[in-house]
Structure 1
Amino acid sequence: MDIIQITENKKQYIDLLLLADEQESMIDRYLERGELFVLEDSRVKAICVVTDEGDGVCELKNIAVTPEFQRQGYGKRLINYLVTHYSGKYSQMIVGTGDVPSTVKFYQSCGFEYSHRIENFFTDNYDHQMIEDGIILKDMIYLKRKI
């Protein structure tokens, strides 16, 4: 298993990025300024984008696991790698997600805890209704982890 940072032609991974963030114009807001990592294990299994938010904070903007490899620990391995990789450079990692129990539980299992909520984020920023696990997304939930 290898985790590599991609610095050029980041859009080649757009199909996978769209699994976690369904609107390409939203991905375009952070992809080029973010650092893109790919977890490979004989092929691409997971991908993520991390941005510098200032004041010692980085944000996990996008993390996606290839559908047939979901729930096999690849997302958690990628997050653990990021925590080690950014340790010393940042003091905190944040992540914003929909208010969906399964997703929040995943991040909590990775050491994140509730930080704050941005009301109407999904309804105000996306051009279509966002649904995850049968739940219509409205507010963005932010979680944080010390690193």
Structure 2
Amino acid sequence: MVIRQIYSHKKAYLDLLLLGDEQEDMIDRYLDQGELFVLETNGTAAAECVVTQVGGGIYEIKNIAVSPPYQRRGFGRALVDFLIRHYPDCTALWVGTGESPATLDFYHALGFREFRRVKDFFLQNYDHPILEGGVQLKDMVYLKREGPASS
């Protein structure tokens, strides 16, 4: 397993990016300003994440996804752990996500806690209903995890 940063031709990973955010124009809003990291195993891109800097040592995961054949193997956790190490000035790592129980459970297991909601975000910003795990996403739930520089 190798994690590497992608500096150019980020759209080459669109198939993976669309797993984490299924509307391309939404991805376009953050992809160029974000840092893209790809986790490869046996030469195959198995997972990705896009991170932006909010400021003051706060970083936000804008997109994270693991290709279905590689899910439930710890690759999502490996990416989050990598980010915490990659940004030594990180005071907090944020992520905004929908109210899917499986997704929230994933982040809670990694030490993330809810700190804010944006009501009806998915209803107002996507051109079609977003369903995840049989749940229609409505509110954006923001979670945070303290970073190494928070002490």
Partner of 1:75: 76
- Distance in structure 1 (CA, Å) of the matches to 2:25 and 2:92: 27
What percentage of aligned pairs have identical amino acids? 53
Q: 1:34-60: CA deviations, max 9, x gaps? A: 000000111111100000112321100
Displacement after TM superposition at 1:23 (Å): 0.4
Q: Tell me which amino acid in the other structure corresponds to 2:84.
A: V
- 1:113, 1:27 → 2: CA distance? 24
Q: Which position in structure 2 is the counterpart of 1:12?
A: 12
Count of aligned pairs: 146
Aligned residue in 2 for 1:60: 61
Any idea what the Cα deviations from partners look like across 1:9-67, whole Å, max 9, x if unmatched?
00000111001101000000000000000001111111000001123211000000011
Indicate the SS of the match to 2:85: helix
Letter of the 2:139 partner, please give it.
D
| Aligned residue in 2 for 1:94 | 94
In the aligned structure 2, how far is the partner of 1:17 from the partner of 1:59?
16
1:50 aligned residue: 51
Q: Distance in 1 between matches of 2:87 and 2:56?
A: 14
Query: Structure 2 CA distance, aligned partners of 1:102 and 1:16?
Result: 19
- Offset, 1:101: 1.2
**What secondary structure sits across from 2:61 in the alignment?**
strand
3-state SS of paired residue (2:129): coil
The amino acid of 1:138's aligned partner reads K
Cα distance in 1 for residues equivalent to 2:75 and 2:57: 26
> Which secondary structure does the structure 2 equivalent of 1:87 belong to?
coil
Residue segments in structure 2 that go unaligned for 5+ positions in a row: none
Q: How far apart, CA to CA, are the structure 2 residues paired with 1:87 and 1:103?
A: 26
CA positional deviation for 1:100? 1.2
Cα RMSD after superposing both structures: 0.7
Distance 1:98 1:138 in 2: 7
Looking at structure 2, the residues matched to 57 and 7 of structure 1 have their Cα atoms a distance apart, in angstroms, of 21
Look up the SS of the partner of 1:128 in the other structure: coil
Which residue pairs with 2:111 in the alignment?
Answer: 111
The runs of at least 4 aligned residues of structure 1 exceeding 6 Å deviation read none
